[in-house]
Structure 1
Amino acid sequence: MAIYTKEEAKQLLDKALSYSKAETCEVNLSGDNSGNIRYARNTVSTAGYQNNQNMVIQSSFGNRVGVATLDEFTDEAIARAVKTSEELAKLAPENPEFMPPLGPQEYDESKQYYESTANISPDYRAEVASKSIEPARAKDVTAAGFLNDSANFSAMANSNGLFAYNQSTNLDFTVTMRTNDGTGSGWVTRDVNDVNLFNGEEASAIAIDKALQSRNSKAIEPGKYTVILEPAASEQLLGNMFGSFDARTADEGRSFMSKEGGGTKLGEKIVDERINIYSDPQHPLVPAPTWNGSGQAVKRMDWLKNGVVKNLAYSRYWAKEKGVDPVPFPQNGIMEGGNASLEDMIKDTKKGVLVTRLWYIRTVDPQTLLYTGLTRDGTFYIENGKIKHPIKNFRFNESPIIMLNNLETLGQQVRINGNLIPYMKVRDFTFTSLSDAV
């Protein structure tokens, strides 16, 4: 049994703590049941189901810490693991950044778990694959996709009286459609907590349509273009930007949030005033855990408000060093959007490029957040409010900061990878060269 109820998890954690002879002890317990199906070349290639469970015991004497892990939860195995962690702690060097475990905390109720997703059957997975493969085959397209669903739990307790528990479910789906003449490619991704919000047939149809539309692409000159970025095209760039909202790297002069001569950009306007980004573990469309790995409660937090940096994340150690309250790093990212649909944005574009997806993104300059990468799976030229024809893929060099300062239009939000990201229309996006990849 990989999924434990709150009561069952607490009993196991309390048992582990009862064996402890260390100054402090923290125990983490987790488990998951997950099923999957994979298909390629219009044929199911693999399908499976697995369950896992794991316990991590951390013991400390002063600033010396030892860790032991196990996946067998007999009394003897747990007692042996606790003893091993204590022996390792006595041998370990001192950790100058060690923080003692927190005491009891209060957490909001998590809203990530759906019985509908936990009860997904092999027949359901097979039906999703069938409704992706058959329409592709009928249109002379080859499908390659992967569906993974899971039910998970995590719990932690420590010798200072803290106890936390969370249950969640998730479904992830991606599919690539390639035309059989090798000239067109389409792609789509979906993720939900509640399977009732997922429509694999509709998602596959979008990827098929992108593949058919992107056949026989034409080359246009690289340069600066107005672009319409679908959420999958901007989500990773925005995620990379979000990684710089860390107080320590900013204070130490190692990130975009560092100011020349010292200090951080907290309180400064860095992007267009229409940009508002926050995190909220209780958002109904992108729920997330309400506590983190340190046992800290996670609440709604503004990060960018009207283009201004409102908060930076402080670990418990760095908060102590700076004499401020800790600010947990966000569990999700929510960027406020507008009312414009993708169709509205296209109609309002005289000349531009529609980008389905960016991939193979790599850092060029961490101080300016300059990144490079490639477009993929459907790139289209827009002229006079209509998609005129597919175009060859580009390599780009761009910073999300510059991108968000060149914002023209914010569109409707879409969930992607546990975040909410809007469609965006941006001017002067820099394409540096052409790519022959489809």
Structure 2
Amino acid sequence: MSALDEALNHSKNVGIDECEVIVLKKNITTVRITDSEISETKQNFDESYGIRLIHKKKIASIQTTKQHEIKDIIDESLKTLTNLRPREFWEGLPSKVQRRQIDGTYDEKLEEISGSNAMDIAQSMINSADSDKINTITGSLNIVSDNFEIENSNGLNLKEKATYISGIINAESEFGTIPVSGIGHDSCRTLSHFSAERIGADAKKMCLGSINPQKIDSDVYSIIFEPYSVGELLAFVVAANFNFKTFTEKKSCFSNNFDKQIAVEQISLIDDPHVLEGIGTKSVDDEGIETKKQSLIDKGFFKSTFSNLFDSYKESEQSSGNGLRLGSPLGKSSEPIPIAAPHNLKINPGKSSQEDMIKDTKRGLLVGRLWYTYAVNPIKGDFSCTARSGIKIIENGKIKGPGKSVRIIHNLCTMLKNITEIGNNQRNVIQWASLPSITPSLKSENISVKTI
């Protein structure tokens, strides 16, 4: 008997109202790069189980790696339900779902990749970043394959295989006046769309272009955020404001602006679970609800939020199909209680090349990478971040030279209304253990920066 059947049958026998069971089989290949060479290669296989029990509208959760303990754990969990308060708003787990076919989310070559082949890819990342002016290359390559199955007592049974690949290189140089660095990255779902060479080349370009940076005076600038830095803002500042729970609790900086204009007309922010090669692409969410493409911001107007079953039921609404069990470093987990999160945050590309965006800038900065990005006052939209790599000083439409680190303390509501150009250089971006996004460069005006 499978773990799914065992858990469901036992929960039914002991009289539990609803039971949801997840089985996750996960292969992870990780290649670590230290001191410009491969320092470690690991291939791990994990099998884990997540169980959510709902009885008399009380909800309990279990997670284990031991199938033979499932019955005993369910019995123990049933005892703890007496100490929990009922969630009277709970309406039930989903039943059968229609699943659409999405191509490009599984690649047999990635699932069966050998450690030596993974090392060859990582070595290509290193080779393309190498330069006599670069002292150290660090980074990692992660290849993940998921075999995910979810079943519940209401008849839902879903099986899904998925693959992911993500690489990052950080190149460091001590060639000039102070140490500088550059980053390169790529992520997708199939091996044929992955470019190890571009990762290293991008890191090298940013690093070498940052040598001998000049001091940037504290002042107000136009800032062109390149895709990797936009992805950082989307993951750590923007996304939470469109979480249905955050919105209804009046903790979003846009809680009082639903259906109102919150950004310039050129901006549309989309949660797209069906985009080709998206790290978060899927046809059904991790609770068994069909996913759908939705505009969070449509031509500048706040139009929708994302939610899971629990948070939606609490407000007598329906889930948007954003119940996720996020795994590390990529893919899914067997967490019994899902969170609400976007699948792929996407900003539609504009018509401007980055070169044209620079030409249109009288006094500004080009920012390739952000660090330490967080919301200072989430309800007001205030945030802070540090630009430390890939900073270029722009004067009268030309790159004057690289710039030293600066701190940016700004407001999201203000920034979205001051975006003047959108690039045509859309890229897949994913920060470490964070949300995937697909975004071009963005240029925003009147941003205060402080010299560090």
TM-score, scaled relative to structure 1: 0.89
- Aligned with residue 164 of structure 2, among 166, 170, 193: 170
CA offsets per residue over residues 388-410 of structure 1, 9 Å max, x none?
21111100012233222111111
- Aligned with residue 244 of structure 2, among 226, 235, 247: 247
Shift in Å, 1:91: 5.0
Q: Given that residues 154 and 167 in structure 1 are in contact (C-alpha distance below 8 angstroms), is that contact kept between their aligned partners in structure 2? A: yes
Kindly report which structure 2 residues correspond to 1:147-186, keeping only aligned pairs within 5 A, or say none.
Answer: 147-181=141-175, 182-186=178-182
- Name the aligned partner's letter for residue 189 of structure 1: H
CA offsets per residue over residues 313-347 of structure 1, 9 Å max, x none?
34434544544433334312111111322223223
> Residue 423 of structure 2 aligns to a residue in which SS?
strand
Q: Given that residues 186 and 199 in structure 2 are in contact (C-alpha distance below 8 angstroms), is that contact kept between their aligned partners in structure 1? A: yes
User: Counterpart of 2:10?
Assistant: 19
Are the structure 2 counterparts of residues 92 and 251 from structure 1 closer, same or farther at C-alpha, using a change threshold of 3 Å?
closer
What is the rounded CA distance, in whole Å, between the counterparts of 1:137 and 1:331 in structure 2?
A: 34
Kindly report which structure 2 residues correspond to 1:43-62, keeping only aligned pairs within 5 A, or say none.
Answer: 43-62=37-56
- Aligned with residue 57 of structure 2, among 42, 57, 63: 63
Q: Does 1:416 align with 2:429?
A: yes
Range that drifts further, 214-223 or 19-28:
19-28
What is the rounded CA distance, in whole Å, between the counterparts of 1:90 and 1:27 in structure 2?
A: 21
User: Counterpart of 1:398?
Assistant: 410
Q: How many residue pairs align between the two structures? A: 418
- Name the aligned partner's letter for residue 416 of structure 1: V
Shift in Å, 1:16: 2.4
User: Counterpart of 2:374?
Assistant: 362
Q: Given that residues 186 and 207 in structure 1 are in contact (C-alpha distance below 8 angstroms), is that contact kept between their aligned partners in structure 2? A: yes
Are the structure 2 counterparts of residues 359 and 196 from structure 1 closer, same or farther at C-alpha, using a change threshold of 3 Å?
same
User: Counterpart of 1:114?
Assistant: 107
User: Counterpart of 2:332?
Assistant: none
Kindly report which structure 2 residues correspond to 1:281-360, keeping only aligned pairs within 5 A, or say none.
Answer: 281-286=273-278, 288-329=281-322, 330-360=342-372
Kindly report which structure 2 residues correspond to 1:266-281, keeping only aligned pairs within 5 A, or say none.
Answer: 266-281=258-273
Shift in Å, 1:56: 1.5
Shift in Å, 1:217: 0.7
What is the rounded CA distance, in whole Å, between the counterparts of 2:289 and 2:437 in structure 1?
A: 21
What is the rounded CA distance, in whole Å, between the counterparts of 1:377 and 1:99 in structure 2?
A: 49
User: Counterpart of 2:388?
Assistant: 376
Q: Given that residues 58 and 65 in structure 1 are in contact (C-alpha distance below 8 angstroms), is that contact kept between their aligned partners in structure 2? A: yes
Q: Given that residues 57 and 85 in structure 1 are in contact (C-alpha distance below 8 angstroms), is that contact kept between their aligned partners in structure 2? A: no
> Residue 441 of structure 2 aligns to a residue in which SS?
strand
Shift in Å, 1:258: 2.2
What is the rounded CA distance, in whole Å, between the counterparts of 2:201 and 2:308 in structure 1?
A: 44
What is the rounded CA distance, in whole Å, between the counterparts of 1:317 and 1:82 in structure 2?
A: 21
Q: Given that residues 32 and 51 in structure 1 are in contact (C-alpha distance below 8 angstroms), is that contact kept between their aligned partners in structure 2? A: yes
What is the rounded CA distance, in whole Å, between the counterparts of 2:195 and 2:145 in structure 1?
A: 19
Q: Given that residues 356 and 378 in structure 1 are in contact (C-alpha distance below 8 angstroms), is that contact kept between their aligned partners in structure 2? A: yes
CA offsets per residue over residues 44-70 of structure 1, 9 Å max, x none?
222111010111122332023333333
TM-score, scaled relative to structure 2: 0.86
Q: Given that residues 69 and 81 in structure 1 are in contact (C-alpha distance below 8 angstroms), is that contact kept between their aligned partners in structure 2? A: no
What is the rounded CA distance, in whole Å, between the counterparts of 2:216 and 2:64 in structure 1?
A: 57
Are the structure 2 counterparts of residues 135 and 311 from structure 1 closer, same or farther at C-alpha, using a change threshold of 3 Å?
closer
Q: Given that residues 65 and 90 in structure 1 are in contact (C-alpha distance below 8 angstroms), is that contact kept between their aligned partners in structure 2? A: no
What is the rounded CA distance, in whole Å, between the counterparts of 1:309 and 1:184 in structure 2?
A: 39
Q: Given that residues 133 and 208 in structure 2 are in contact (C-alpha distance below 8 angstroms), is that contact kept between their aligned partners in structure 1? A: no
- Name the aligned partner's letter for residue 28 of structure 2: S
Q: Does 1:434 align with 2:431?
A: no
> Residue 440 of structure 2 aligns to a residue in which SS?
strand
Are the structure 2 counterparts of residues 91 and 365 from structure 1 closer, same or farther at C-alpha, using a change threshold of 3 Å?
closer
Q: Does 1:210 align with 2:206?
A: yes
Q: Given that residues 130 and 204 in structure 2 are in contact (C-alpha distance below 8 angstroms), is that contact kept between their aligned partners in structure 1? A: no
Range that drifts further, 201-210 or 266-275:
201-210
> Residue 205 of structure 2 aligns to a residue in which SS?
helix
Gaps of 5+ in 1: 1-9, 260-264
- Name the aligned partner's letter for residue 406 of structure 1: N
Q: Does 1:232 align with 2:225?
A: no
What is the rounded CA distance, in whole Å, between the counterparts of 1:308 and 1:37 in structure 2?
A: 43
Q: Given that residues 67 and 89 in structure 1 are in contact (C-alpha distance below 8 angstroms), is that contact kept between their aligned partners in structure 2? A: no
> Residue 161 of structure 1 aligns to a residue in which SS?
coil
- Aligned with residue 137 of structure 2, among 115, 135, 143: 143
Are the structure 2 counterparts of residues 225 and 200 from structure 1 closer, same or farther at C-alpha, using a change threshold of 3 Å?
same
Q: Given that residues 133 and 143 in structure 1 are in contact (C-alpha distance below 8 angstroms), is that contact kept between their aligned partners in structure 2? A: yes
Query: How many percent identity over aligned positions?
Result: 24
Range that drifts further, 341-350 or 419-428:
341-350
Q: Given that residues 183 and 217 in structure 1 are in contact (C-alpha distance below 8 angstroms), is that contact kept between their aligned partners in structure 2? A: no
- Name the aligned partner's letter for residue 415 of structure 1: N
User: Counterpart of 1:187?
Assistant: 183
What is the rounded CA distance, in whole Å, between the counterparts of 1:78 and 1:87 in structure 2?
A: 15
